[in-house]
Amino acid sequence: METALANEYRRLCRDPATHQLAYLRLRRAIRNVVEHRDIEPGQALPSERDLAQALGLSRVTVRKAIAGLVEEGLLNQRHGAGTFVAERIIKPMSRLTSFTEDLRARGLNPRSEFFERSIGEVTPEEAMALNLSPGAPVVRLHRVRYAGDEPLAIERSVVPASALPDPGEVRDSLYEVLERYGNRPRRALQRLRAVLLGAQHARLLHVAVGSAGLSIERRSFLDDGRVVEFTSSWYRGDIYDFVAELHTD
């Protein structure tokens, strides 16, 4: 495992396209080995001292590389025990990322199983959420989101058909398809609520009825202020940690 990281770091050193600053290069190397599962969630990283020695870097550089990944939630540190690859999916709340990106960054394999992928006329509630006029066409996606075989969330998304003409194009990532049309969300409002999962949601998520869940609503916007998505999600409460950075001003 240590060798995988050292090899990856050395590979990046030889790659002219990679960032020249050592701590950023090391950060990328750690991200890559986690993504490729050379270091599994829950496993420890080599100690700062061992890493510094193996890579010919100063401990300050190693510490700086690790600190950034701790902040992102990819790694966590336990006092006296060392640095570990995070087991729960820790999601910084201030970054507008997709489910697919969050999972891939942790070396997991995101998948969707669809109940619905259709196009139809906007309902009054959807029109309010998306700022659309009555009669406008919308795309509806209803799916269970998996990491490999494990269900993590249920999502119901409504998107104006003007931003996504063909629902059939969405196989796994909605944001990837929106990006292709130049309609990737740039800003979003998100509301989180603790919920107890009812029978239907619990069954789909393979948890007991009444388990803790998180209900998340996201309304995302394009640069020009148009709403591009309204998604209601139910996440399993035992897998996700949402982390927010707070400022005094």
Task: Give the binding site for ligand GLP (CB under 6 A).
Answer: 98-100, 155, 157, 173-176, 216, 218, 229, 231, 233
Closest separation between CB of residue 176 and ligand GLP, Å?
Answer: 6
Closest separation between CB of residue 131 and ligand GLP, Å?
Answer: 17
Query: Following CA atoms 90, 219, 171, 117 in sequence, which dihedral angle do they give, to the nearest 10 degrees?
Result: 140
| Cβ distance to ligand GLP smaller for residue 23 or 234 | 234
| Cβ distance to ligand GLP smaller for residue 162 or 232 | 232
| Cβ distance to ligand GLP smaller for residue 29 or 216 | 216
The SS3 of residue 78 is strand
| Cβ distance to ligand GLP smaller for residue 4 or 239 | 239
Q: Which whole-number Å values give the CA distances from 176 to 102, 162, 170, 190, in the listed order?
A: 13, 16, 8, 20
State how far the Cα of 120 lies from the Cα of 230, in Å rounded to an integer: 15
Could you say which DSSP state residue 192 is in?
A: E
* β-pairing verdict for 240-243 and 89-92: parallel
Closest separation between CB of residue 99 and ligand GLP, Å?
Answer: 3
State how far the Cα of 85 lies from the Cα of 40, in Å rounded to an integer: 7
State how far the Cα of 180 lies from the Cα of 168, in Å rounded to an integer: 14
What's the per-residue H, E or C state across 133-157?
A: CCCCEEEEEEEEEEECCEEEEEEEE
| Cβ distance to ligand GLP smaller for residue 30 or 174 | 174
| Cβ distance to ligand GLP smaller for residue 4 or 188 | 188
Closest separation between CB of residue 67 and ligand GLP, Å?
Answer: 27
Closest separation between CB of residue 155 and ligand GLP, Å?
Answer: 6
Number of H helices, E strands in the chain: 8, 10
The SS3 of residue 44 is strand
Closest separation between CB of residue 207 and ligand GLP, Å?
Answer: 18
